[in-house]
């Protein structure tokens, strides 16, 4: 059945909950300050402001002139002015919104982003925005973080977030490389919070223990913010069965973050950002599996006793100089990020079940330069321009035990032997952009520009990409936006070379067939249009998009290790519609998001070794659903303040299911799922001790068992199930000095 965008939006509106109006602030000599979201629950936490009047999914209004504010706030405004959003779609989640979620800031970042429209969950913590596989760009205080090697763990700690903006659609020329969406994080600042901090712990079901602490403050021209977070539990990766307690699924994860700033003068700030993540995972076991190969004189192996593990590390640091030179705002940064992954097989077990036991080590060190500038001119124009450069050194080393095979592919010996393969890749990314934001009148703003990208790794590829976006303030309560962007998306710097494939000929790890193994840069045309309407305390939004793609990139888990491979479809087409609503009045606040999406690909032109001959033949002549395509997705939440110290809330996730194998590749969708989460929070005030924040959360309160993946479909390696019911308690103590 076909669903029109208008019909979908009208039908969803019947169920909507909602938001309130936005205010955009400027200071003398500064330009626009982009709006940020208000609380879905207005739950005030240490360092949070409960008076933020902005709302989810708002586009910036015209700036209003106010009196003077402090130097740090003025520099924040100048930095925000570097990042336009004209013509694109944005959704903002504040620290108060995060705290209103059942787990608060103890929730992983991917779970927080699932509360935005068009965001679909997948196994291993992956997210899909508007039908794209990963391809997310993360920014901290306007500085882009190079992409890490794909893994299970989350790199960034939500306790550091003041607000996070999800920007997608037709992006301005400033944004490139990863373009499915921009996750733009503004961190908490010691200059705004005073001198103090918070310590807390979250614990509960599945052996969960999560202590955390933050410390912030300022002295003279210096300010700082630090946070640390440790977590361990027994559900590190999604359970491959519907049982409540997975087998062999322990994880421990450590995250740290720091931001040190120095005010050189009233117009200049020097900042040093750094972060570290170290995550360890056991790979959960699927019982009652039958071995496919013999090992020496052994023919049986209990699959519950497998001992596969994966470790992941990320470290990043950035030195940024930001401020104003006359009327020009700027930020120049130098950064480096290291990302590593190690997969450790169960040698005997992996050999008997898969015919290969590969110990995989991957690493990628990226060095970056980013410079952004904004200069007002002519009274109604803002010229923005900048450059970005990234140099990656990546490697993959694999030690694999395999069995020899006969000409017909059957196992020739039960004695394994070792094959070592390795790759080293140097990748260079260079980009520039130039764009003009033109305030044509009080009602119309036009942003137009050009971006140039060059990527050199497996080959040299480049593109000039025009961008244009228009915002029409039709009335005081009605905003219309539209945009077009040409995109250039380089592949990830992870590659299996032809030499590596050839090394496994006549073994139990031989590929199905050969083909072009070098991934290609994706190129696409993106069209986006939407309208937003304020009605009293309600805010409604409807957005539609269409993307026509050449060399569509996708990722798949084709091997036995949980490591992804990139491949390309020759053609792709993605379309969808999103509806949002929010409401805020007195003690009650709520939000509702729903999205319809279709993502299709045709003709696999790289990475063909991952596919069967019959699959390739069908896909060469027919469009198929991408494995991460989900037709319908919805999220929502409600919060009610019973008193100033007691609040209750609920949120949910709904999805029509990702794809699985059918009569044709990815021909079926998994069943619908619904997950309801509940929470209650209360602030105690004790004599001599002060405030103690408590929050009780119930995740998947209905204990509905649902599959995220069935283990079938293009690039799908194993089944995964969503979380079972869990109960968690958070205790948090703020302090000041």
Residues 138-168 have pLDDT tens digits of: 999 999 998 877 666 688 899 999 999 999 9
Share of the chain above pLDDT 70, in %: 87
What pLDDT score does 16 carry? Answer: 35
- DSSP for 670-716 reads PPPEEEEEEEEEEEEEETTTEEEEEEEEEESTT----EEEES-STT-
pLDDT exceeds cutoff 70 at 366: yes
Instruction: Name the range with the highest mean pLDDT among 239-243, 340-344, 565-569, 573-577.
Output: 573-577
Give kind and range of the element (H or E) at residue 9.
helix 5-13
How many Cβ atoms from other residues are within 10 Å of residue 342's Cβ? 16
Contact criterion met (CB below 8 Å) for 330 and 531: no
The candidate with the shortest Cα–Cα distance to 638, out of 241, 149, 102, is 102
d(CA 472, CA 480): 5
| Tokens representing residue 178 in the block | 């990863």
pLDDT exceeds cutoff 80 at 11: no
Q: Rounded to whole angstroms, what are the CA distances from 421 to 291, 341, 346, 501?
A: 26, 16, 19, 9
d(CA 604, CA 627): 14
d(CA 74, CA 269): 11
H helix and E strand count, the chain: 8, 36
* pLDDT tens digits, 392-412: 999 989 999 999 999 988 999
Averaged pLDDT for residues 555-568: 70
Strand, helix or coil at 654? strand
What pLDDT score does 713 carry? Answer: 65
pLDDT exceeds cutoff 60 at 37: no
pLDDT exceeds cutoff 60 at 19: no
pLDDT exceeds cutoff 70 at 607: yes
Contact criterion met (CB below 8 Å) for 648 and 679: yes
What pLDDT score does 21 carry? Answer: 30
The candidate with the shortest Cα–Cα distance to 238, out of 174, 177, 289, 286, is 286
**What residues pair up with 216 in beta bridges, in sequence order?**
196, 225
pLDDT exceeds cutoff 80 at 9: no
Contact criterion met (CB below 8 Å) for 165 and 36: yes
Q: Among 25-34, 220-229, 437-446, 713-722, which stretch is predicted with the lowest mean pLDDT?
A: 25-34
Give kind and range of the element (H or E) at residue 72.
helix 71-80
Contact criterion met (CB below 8 Å) for 73 and 17: no
What pLDDT score does 81 carry? Answer: 77
Environment class of 253 (CB within 10 Å of its CB; exposed 0-12, middle 13-18, buried 19+): buried
Averaged pLDDT for residues 458-484: 95
Distance from the Cα of residue 610 to its chain's centroid? 26
Q: Among 16-25, 377-386, 545-554, which stretch is predicted with the lowest mean pLDDT?
A: 16-25
Averaged pLDDT for residues 364-374: 96
User: Rounded to the nearest 5 degrees, what angle is found at the Cα of 518, between the Cα atoms of 452 and 367?
Assistant: 50
Averaged pLDDT for residues 365-386: 95
The candidate with the shortest Cα–Cα distance to 608, out of 558, 561, 573, is 558
Give the gyration radius of the chain's Cα atoms: 25
* pLDDT tens digits, 609-655: 778 889 999 999 999 999 999 999 999 999 999 999 999 999 999 99
Sign of CA dihedral 714, 718, 719, 723: negative
| Tokens representing residue 102 in the block | 């059942």
* pLDDT tens digits, 504-518: 889 998 877 667 778
Contact criterion met (CB below 8 Å) for 103 and 56: no
Averaged pLDDT for residues 227-245: 94
Query: Residue 411 carries which DSSP code?
Result: B
CATH T-level topology, domain 5-736: Maltoporin; Chain A (2.40.170)
List strand residue ranges (DSSP E) for 476-587, in order.
478-489, 522-535, 538-556, 565-585
How many Cβ atoms from other residues are within 10 Å of residue 474's Cβ? 12
The candidate with the shortest Cα–Cα distance to 9, out of 629, 596, 673, is 596
Mean pLDDT of the chain: 87
**Is the pTM for the entire model greater than 0.85?**
yes
Contact criterion met (CB below 8 Å) for 152 and 281: yes
Q: Among 68-82, 85-99, 568-582, which stretch is predicted with the lowest mean pLDDT?
A: 68-82
Domain ranges for the chain: 5-736
553-563 as b/e, with b when 16 or more CB fall inside 10 Å?
bbbbbbbbbbb
φ, ψ for residue 623, nearest 5 deg: -70, 140
What pLDDT score does 493 carry? Answer: 74
Contact criterion met (CB below 8 Å) for 369 and 334: yes
What pLDDT score does 195 carry? Answer: 95
Residue count of the chain, please give it: 737
pLDDT exceeds cutoff 80 at 211: yes
Q: Rounded to whole angstroms, what are the CA distances from 8 to 578, 634, 674?
A: 9, 12, 19
d(CA 76, CA 86): 19
Selected residue with higher pLDDT from 423 and 550: 550
pLDDT exceeds cutoff 50 at 335: yes
């Amino acid at each position: 059945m076909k669903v029109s965008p208008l019909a979908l939006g009208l039908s969803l509106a019947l169920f909507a909950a909602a938001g309130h109006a936005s205010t955009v602030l400027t200071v003398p000599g500064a330009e626009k300050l982009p709006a940020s979201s208000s609380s879905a629950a207005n739950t005030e936490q240490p360092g949070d402001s409960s008076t933020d009047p902005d709302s989810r999914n708002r586009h910036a209004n015209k700036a209003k002139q106010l009196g003077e504010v402090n130097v740090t706030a003025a520099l924040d405004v100048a930095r925000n002015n570097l990042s336009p959003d004209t013509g694109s779609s944005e959704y903002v989640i504040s620290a108060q919104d995060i705290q209103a979620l059942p787990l608060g800031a103890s929730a992983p970042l991917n779970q927080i982003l699932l509360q935005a429209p068009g965001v679909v969950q997948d196994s291993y913590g992956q997210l899909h925005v508007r039908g794209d596989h990963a391809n997310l760009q993360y920014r901290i205080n306007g500085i882009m973080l190079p992409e890490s090697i794909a893994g299970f763990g989350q790199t960034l700690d939500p306790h550091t977030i003041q607000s996070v903006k999800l920007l997608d659609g037709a992006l301005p020329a400033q944004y490139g490389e990863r373009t499915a969406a921009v996750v733009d994080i503004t961190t908490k600042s010691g200059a705004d919070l005073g001198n103090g901090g918070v310590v807390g712990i979250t614990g509960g079901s599945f052996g969960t223990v999560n202590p955390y602490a933050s410390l912030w403050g300022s002295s003279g021209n210096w300010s700082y913010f630090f946070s640390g977070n440790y977590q361990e539990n027994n559900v590190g990766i999604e359970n491959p069965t519907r049982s409540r307690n997975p087998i062999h699924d322990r994880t421990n994860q450590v995250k740290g973050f720091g931001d040190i700033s120095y005010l050189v003068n009233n117009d200049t700030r020097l900042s040093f950002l750094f972060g570290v993540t170290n995550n360890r995972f056991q790979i959960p076991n699927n019982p009652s599996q039958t071995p496919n190969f013999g090992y020496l004189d052994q023919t049986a192996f209990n699959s519950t006793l497998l001992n596969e593990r994966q470790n992941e590390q990320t470290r990043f640091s950035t030195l940024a100089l930001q401020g104003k030179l006359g009327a020009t705002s700027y930020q120049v940064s130098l950064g480096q990020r290291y990302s590593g992954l190690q997969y450790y097989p169960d040698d005997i077990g992996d050999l008997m079940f898969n015919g290969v036991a590969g110990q995989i080590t991957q690493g990628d060190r990226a060095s970056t330069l980013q410079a952004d500038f904004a200069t007002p001119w002519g009274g109604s124009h803002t010229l923005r321009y900048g450059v970005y450069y990234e140099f990656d050194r990546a490697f993959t080393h694999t030690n694999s035990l395999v069995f020899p095979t006969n000409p017909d592919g059957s196992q020739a010996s039960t004695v394994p032997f070792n094959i070592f393969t390795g790759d080293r890749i140097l990748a260079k990314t260079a980009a520039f952009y130039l764009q003009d934001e033109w305030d044509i009148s009080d009602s119309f703003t036009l942003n137009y520009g050009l971006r140039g990208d060059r990527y050199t790794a497996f080959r040299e590829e480049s593109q000039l990409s025009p961008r244009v976006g228009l915002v029409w303030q039709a009335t005081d309560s009605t905003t219309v936006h539209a945009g077009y962007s040409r995109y250039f998306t380089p592949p990830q710097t992870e590659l299996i070379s032809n030499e590596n494939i050839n090394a496994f000929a006549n073994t139990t790890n031989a590929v199905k067939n050969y083909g072009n193994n070098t991934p290609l840069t994706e190129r696409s045309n993106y069209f986006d249009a939407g309208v937003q309407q304020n009605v009293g305390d309600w805010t409604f939004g409807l957005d539609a998009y269409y993307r026509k793609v050449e060399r569509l990139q996708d990722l798949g888990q084709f091997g036995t290790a949980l490591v992804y491979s990139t491949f390309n479809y020759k053609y792709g087409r993605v379309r969808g519609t999103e509806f949002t609503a929010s409401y805020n009045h007195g003690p009650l606040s709520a939000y509702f998001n729903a999205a319809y999406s279709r993502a299709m690909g045709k003709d696999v032109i790289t990475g063909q070794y991952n596919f069967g001959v019959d699959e390739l033949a069908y896909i060469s002549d027919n469009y198929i659903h991408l494995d991460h395509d989900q037709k319908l997705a919805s999220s929502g939440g409600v919060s009610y303040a019973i008193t100033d110290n007691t609040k209750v809330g609920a949120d949910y996730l709904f999805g029509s299911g990702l794809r699985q194998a059918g009569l044709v590749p990815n021909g079926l969708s998994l069943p619908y799922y619904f997950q309801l989460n509940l929470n209650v929070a209360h602030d105690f005030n004790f004599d001599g001790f002060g405030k103690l924040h408590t929050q009780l959360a119930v995740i998947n309160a209905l204990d509905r068992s649902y599959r995220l993946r069935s283990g079938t479909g293009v690039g799908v390696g194993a089944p995964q199930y969503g979380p079972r019911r869990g109960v968690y308690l958070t205790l948090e103590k703020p302090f000041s000095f």
